A and B are shown apart, each in its own frame.
Chain A
Amino acid sequence: MMTNTGNLLTQGQFSFLPPLTDKQISAQLKYALKNGWAIGIEYTDDPHPRNTYWEMFGNPMFDLKDPAGILMEINSCRKTFPSHYIRVTAFNSTRGVESPTMSYIVNRPKKEPGFGLVRQEGAGRHVSYSIHSYATDKPEGERY
Chain B
Amino acid sequence: MSKQSKNPTSSDDTQIDLDAEFRKSNIKEVLDKLDRELIGLKPVKTRIRETAALLLVDRVRKQMDLSAGAPSLHMCFTGNPGTGKTTVALRMSEILHRLGYVREGHLVSVTRDDLVGQYIGHTAPKTKEVIKKAMGGVLFIDEAYYLYKPENERDYGAESIEILLQTMENNREDLVVILAGYKDRMDKFFHSNPGMRSRIAHHIDFPDYDADELVAIAKLMLAEQNYRFSPAGEEAFGKYIRLRMKMEHFANARSVRNALDRARLRQANRLFMGTKKALTKTDLMTLEPEDILASRVFLEGKPDSGSSAIPEAKEQG
Residues of chain A whose beta carbon lies under 8 Å from any beta carbon of chain B: 58-59, 61, 63-70, 72-73
Known: A61-B132, A63-B133, A73-B132. A68 touches B125 (CB 8 A): no
Complex: chain A residue closest to B106, CB-CB? A65
- B125 contacts A70, C-beta separation under 8 Å: no
Shortest distance from the beta carbon of B269 to any chain A beta carbon, whole Å: 43
Contacting B136 at CB < 8 Å: which of A58, A61, A65, A73?
A: A65
- B133 contacts A68, C-beta separation under 8 Å: no
Known: A59-B125, A73-B132. A66 touches B137 (CB 8 A): yes
Determine the distance from Cα of A22 to Cα of B136 in the docked complex, in whole angstroms.
16
- A69 contacts B104, C-beta separation under 8 Å: no
Contacting B171 at CB < 8 Å: which of A61, A64, A67, A68?
A: A68
Determine the distance from Cα of A63 to Cα of B104 in the docked complex, in whole angstroms.
13
Residues of chain B whose beta carbon lies under 8 Å from any beta carbon of chain A: 103-104, 106, 125, 129, 131-133, 135-137, 171, 174-175
Determine the distance from Cα of A73 to Cα of B174 in the docked complex, in whole angstroms.
14
For A65, list chain B residues within 8 Å (CB): 104, 106, 133, 135-137
Complex: chain B residue closest to A70, CB-CB? B132
Shortest distance from the beta carbon of A107 to any chain B beta carbon, whole Å: 19
Complex: chain A residue closest to B136, CB-CB? A66
For A61, list chain B residues within 8 Å (CB): 132
Contacting B131 at CB < 8 Å: which of A58, A67, A69?
A: A69
- A72 contacts B136, C-beta separation under 8 Å: no
Determine the distance from Cα of A122 to Cα of B135 in the docked complex, in whole angstroms.
58
Shortest distance from the beta carbon of A92 to any chain B beta carbon, whole Å: 20
Shortest distance from the beta carbon of A75 to any chain B beta carbon, whole Å: 11
For B133, list chain A residues within 8 Å (CB): 63-65, 69
Contacting A64 at CB < 8 Å: which of B103, B125, B132, B175?
A: B132
For B174, list chain A residues within 8 Å (CB): 66, 68-69
Q: Which 5 A-B pairs have the closest CB atoms?
A: A66-B136, A69-B132, A68-B174, A69-B135, A68-B135
Complex: chain A residue closest to B175, CB-CB? A68
Determine the distance from Cα of A134 to Cα of B129 in the docked complex, in whole angstroms.
38
Complex: chain A residue closest to B103, CB-CB? A66
| Max count, chain A CB within 10 A of own CB: residue among B103, B125, B135, B174 | B135
Shortest distance from the beta carbon of B166 to any chain A beta carbon, whole Å: 11
Determine the distance from Cα of A133 to Cα of B136 in the docked complex, in whole angstroms.
41
Complex: chain A residue closest to B137, CB-CB? A65
- A72 contacts B125, C-beta separation under 8 Å: no
User: 24 A-B residue contacts at CB 8 Å?
Assistant: A59-B125, A59-B129, A61-B132, A64-B133, A65-B106, A65-B133, A65-B137, A66-B103, A66-B104, A66-B135, A66-B137, A66-B174, A67-B135, A67-B136, A68-B171, A68-B174, A68-B175, A69-B131, A69-B132, A69-B135, A69-B174, A72-B132, A72-B135, A72-B171
